[in-house]
Structure 1
Amino acid sequence: MGCGRVGSTLAMSLEAQGHSVAVIDQNEAAFRRLGAAFEGRRITGVGFDRDTLRAAGIDRAYAFAAVSSGDNSNILSARVARETFDVEHVVARIYDPGRAEIYQRLGIPTVATVKWTADQVMRRLVPAGAVPVHTDVSGAVTLAEIPTDPSWVGTALVKLEAITGARVAYLTRLGEGMLPVKNTVLQDGDLLQMLVRTDRLAALEQLLAGQRPTEV
C-alpha cells in the first residue's frame, strides 16, 4: 500500500524475485513509477478499505507492506490486514519514532523511517558508542553494534560472552559478516553485533568500552 519511491521500488524488487505483487494507491498517477514492464496489479483506492484490499487479493496474500506517506493510513491498513484478513507477515512504515515503539509492542512490526535514517547517519558521522540495530517486539531484547576497547583484542568470543552475559550474534571482519564458532577470537578492527537485554545495553557498552578484566 503506497506507490511512492519506497513502495514502487519494493514492488518492482519483489516482482523481480518472482513474487506476484499488487500495489494500492489513492492516486492513479502514482503508478507511473512502476513503469510499463511491471506486470503486477494496480489498485486505485484507500489502503485500509476492505473492498480495496479484497480487490488487491488480500485474501490470498502472504505479506502486506504499508508504506504510504501517512502514519495513520499505514497503521490502519496494517491492522486491517493483520486483524481482519489474518495476513501473517505485515509491516508498517512509520515516521514518528514514538508511535513506532507503541505499535511494535502491539505486535505490528514497523520501520521507523526517521529514527532509522538518523541512526544510519549517526553511524557514519560518529562511529562510537552502541548503535541499536533491532529491538524485538516486546522491547526486551536489542541487537546492537558494540565498539570494543583494544584491550579486548585476542579474547575468545565465548569468554567475552561469559564476561558480559550477552550473546555475540555475528561479527563484521574486513567488511564481511561472519558467524562466530567455538574458537573465534576477536581481532583488531572487528565489529561486534551483540544480543543483549535492552535494560543491560548501557552497562554492556560501558564494560566493552573499558579495559578487559584480567580476572574472570
Structure 2
Amino acid sequence: MQVVIMGCGRVGSALAMAMQKRGHDVAIIDRDPSAFARLSAAFAGRTVTGVGFDRDVLVEAGIESADAFAAVSSGDNSNIISARVARETFGVDRVVARIYDAKRAEVYERLGIPTVATVPWTTERFVSALGETSTTTEWRDPSGSLAIAQLDIEESWIGTTVGRFQEQTGARVAFLNRLGRPILPDVKTVLQQDDLVFAAVLLDNLKDARAAARSPQLASD
C-alpha cells in the first residue's frame, strides 16, 4: 500500500514508521524541513517540503497513486482541507484526519471522513483507520495476564448488543469509541457502524477473542 502523510510531528513521524514497519511505501509532507529529523534513521520513504493541501505538493508526494492519506498536522483547518482534497480531488479511498475540536470531528465523520481526536493510542488508531489491523495490546495489567485491546469486529455484529457480543467472544467490553467519544456500555448497548470496541481479555484468550470478533456471529438459538 502507498501511504501519504501530512505533518511530521510526534504523531506523523510515529505513524510513518509504523506504516513502513508494516511493509508499506510512505511519503510524508511538512512545511518545516527540520521536522523530518523526528523520523528514525531507518525511514526509507520520501520527505516532501511544502503545504500539505497544495495540489502540486500532494502530487510530488505521490497522491495520484496513493491508497491512503492521513492528515496529522497541528491545525484542524489544514488537516480537513487536505483530507478533502485527497478524497474529492484525487479520489483516495482511505482518508483520515486528526481533529482537535470534538464538535468538528463529529461533523466530518458524518461527511465520511474518519477523524481521530487527541486521545491515547493515537498512532494505532490511525493505523486502524488506514485499513490496517493492529495486533498491538494497548494496556496490560501489572501481572501481564490481562489486556485491554481493540477488537476489529465483523460487519454482522453491527446491531448486536454488547451482552451477546461478550457471550460469543469471551471478551468483556471495557468501552466503545463512537465518533471520537468514549462510551461506557452496558449489556443492552447496541453496537453501531464504525464503533471502535475496546475489550478486557485474558492474554491466553486474546487470539481466540480477536478471531471470534472478526467472524460472523453465531445464529440465535
TM score, norm. by length of structure 2: 0.60
CA distance in 2, matches of 1:91, 1:135: 13
Q: C-alpha displacement at 1:171, in angstroms?
A: 5.8
CA distance in 2, matches of 1:40, 1:85: 21
* Partner of residue 75, structure 2: 70
CA shift digits 1:45-90 (9 cap, x unpaired): 0000000000000001000000001100000000000000000000
* Partner of residue 81, structure 1: 86
Identity %: 57
Q: Is the aligned partner of 1:132 residue 2:160?
A: no
CA shift digits 1:96-138 (9 cap, x unpaired): 1011001111111100225988xx9xxx9xxxxx8432349xx
Write the letter of the residue equivalent to 2:33.
E
Of Structure 1 and Structure 2, which has the larger fraction of its residues in helix? 1
Relative to structure 1, the CA distance from residue 37 to residue 88 in structure 2 (aligned partners, 3 Å threshold; closer, same or farther) is same
* Partner of residue 48, structure 2: 43
Q: C-alpha displacement at 1:166, in angstroms?
A: 3.6
* Partner of residue 105, structure 1: 110
Could you list the structure 1 runs, at least 4 aligned residues long, displaced by more than 6 angstroms after superposition: none
* Partner of residue 14, structure 1: 19
Equivalent pairs, count: 155
Q: C-alpha displacement at 1:172, in angstroms?
A: 3.8
Relative to structure 1, the CA distance from residue 170 to residue 109 in structure 2 (aligned partners, 3 Å threshold; closer, same or farther) is closer
The structure with more radius of gyration: 1
Report 1 or 2 for greater relative contact order, CA contacts < 8 Å, sequence distance ≥ 6. Answer: 2
The unaligned stretches of length 5 or more in structure 1 are 125-129, 137-141, 149-163, 184-216
Relative to structure 1, the CA distance from residue 107 to residue 44 in structure 2 (aligned partners, 3 Å threshold; closer, same or farther) is same
8 Å CA contact 2:13, 2:39 repeated in 1:
yes
